[in-house]
């Protein structure tokens, strides 16, 4: 399969890591369908993809909503053709101690990250089975490997994504489809500013992490896009059920 013929769906492609992944996959020859709640952000990324000479299409969906996801996937098939690559990146950040965590906060975190990954993967998998080729990359987190204070719901969702990845890798490996997870360390994106944490605490959090990170910096979205570009490449075909963790050497 020639790289230029590939169609990728990137959830959360309007911002941060998903944006960098969308642009990188386009540079590597894919047409990209961006699934995001943020239409304006997604349209800006789609316009950048167009200037790279690829098709970039926007689908405004909540990944936690199965009906919306399935309708969007049908549209992608009509507009860009069958889907070969799926990157499950859409997500939110939130710090809240367990004692104060509401059921709604727990449910929302699990719905976006874990059910969102289920919804999108289930909606596209048949295309990959039919093509006998596919690449699925799920964005987990170091919090899914080592946990984090105030992140019980987030860590549980991200650890769940790792279990999902390993199980599906076994199921679809015989069909030419690989499924891997990326567990980034702290990456400089808008996500931290979208949580309710005051700016002072955000800065403190970043400084603490950088101090504990051997390479002494936070990650940038392109660090993750590079890992993703490898995992979706032809030469990564022996790589499945893996969790790779670009984290500057800081695991927990």
- Residue 55 C-beta-side C-alpha neighbours within 13 Å: 14
From the CB of 139, what's the least distance to ligand NAD, in Å?
Answer: 4
Residue 154 annotated to the active site: yes
From the CB of 161, what's the least distance to ligand NAD, in Å?
Answer: 9
From the CB of 130, what's the least distance to ligand NAD, in Å?
Answer: 26
Give me the 50-79 binding string for ligand NAD, x by CB under 6 A, dash otherwise. -----------xxxx---------------
Rule CB under 6 A: say whether 160 interacts with ligand NAD: no
Q: Which of 59, 154, 230, 251 is catalytic?
A: 154
Report the relative pairing of strands 56-60 and 177-182 from DSSP bridges.
unpaired
Give me the 108-147 binding string for ligand NAD, x by CB under 6 A, dash otherwise. ----x--------------------------x-x------
* Of 45-53, 88-96, 123-131, 232-240: span binding ligand NAD (CB under 6 A): 88-96
* Of 8-16, 117-125, 128-136, 229-237: span binding ligand NAD (CB under 6 A): 8-16
Helix H, strand E, coil C: the string for the chain is: CCHHHCEEEEECCCCHHHHHHHHHHHHCCCEEEEEECCHHHHHHHHHHHHHCCCCEEEEECCCCCHHHHHHHHHHHHHHHCCCCEEEECCCCCCCCCHHHCCHHHHHHHHHHHHHHHHHHHHHHHHHHHHHCCEEEEEECCHHHHHCCCCCHHHHHHHHHHHHHHHHHHHHHHHHCEEEEEECCCCECCCHHHHCCCCHHHHHHHHHHHHHHCCCCCCECHHHHHHHHHHHCCHHHCCCCCCEECCCCCCCC
Distance between CA atoms of residues 83 and 14, nearest Å: 19
Rule CB under 6 A: say whether 21 interacts with ligand NAD: no
- Please work out the total of residues on this chain that contact ligand NAD, with binding judged by CB under 6 A: 30
From the CB of 248, what's the least distance to ligand NAD, in Å?
Answer: 11
Rule CB under 6 A: say whether 89 interacts with ligand NAD: yes
Rule CB under 6 A: say whether 32 interacts with ligand NAD: no
> What are the residues binding ligand NAD (CB under 6 A)?
11-12, 14-18, 35-38, 41, 61-64, 89-92, 112, 139, 141, 184, 186-187, 189-191, 194
Q: Could you list the active site residues?
A: 154
């Amino acid at each position: 399969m020639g790289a230029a013929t590939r169609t990728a769906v990137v959830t959360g492609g309007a911002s941060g890591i998903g944006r960098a992944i969308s642009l990188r996959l386009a540079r590597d020859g894919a047409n990209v369908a961006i699934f995001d709640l943020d239409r304006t952000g997604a349209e800006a990324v789609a316009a950048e993809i167009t200037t790279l000479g690829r098709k970039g299409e926007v689908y405004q969906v909540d990944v936690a909503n199965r009906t919306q996801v399935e309708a969007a996937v049908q549209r992608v098939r009509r507009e860009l053709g069958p889907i070969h690559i799926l990157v499950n990146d859409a997500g939110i950040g939130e710090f809240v101690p367990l004692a104060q965590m509401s059921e709604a906060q727990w449910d929302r975190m699990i719905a976006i990250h874990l059910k969102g990954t289920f919804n999108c993967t289930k909606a596209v998998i048949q295309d990959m089975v039919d093509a006998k080729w596919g690449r699925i990359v799920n964005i987990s987190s170091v919090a899914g490997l080592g946990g984090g204070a105030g992140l019980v719901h987030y860590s549980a969702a991200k650890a769940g994504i790792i279990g999902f990845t390993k199980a599906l890798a076994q199921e679809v490996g015989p069909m030419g489809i690989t499924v891997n997870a990326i567990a980034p360390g702290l990456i400089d994106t808008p996500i931290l500013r979208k949580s309710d944490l005051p700016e002072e605490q955000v800065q403190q959090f970043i400084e603490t992490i950088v101090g504990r990170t051997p390479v002494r910096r936070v990650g940038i979205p392109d660090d993750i896009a590079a890992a993703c570009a490898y995992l979706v490449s032809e030469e990564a075909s022996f790589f499945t059920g893996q969790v790779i963790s670009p984290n500057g050497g800081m695991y927990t």
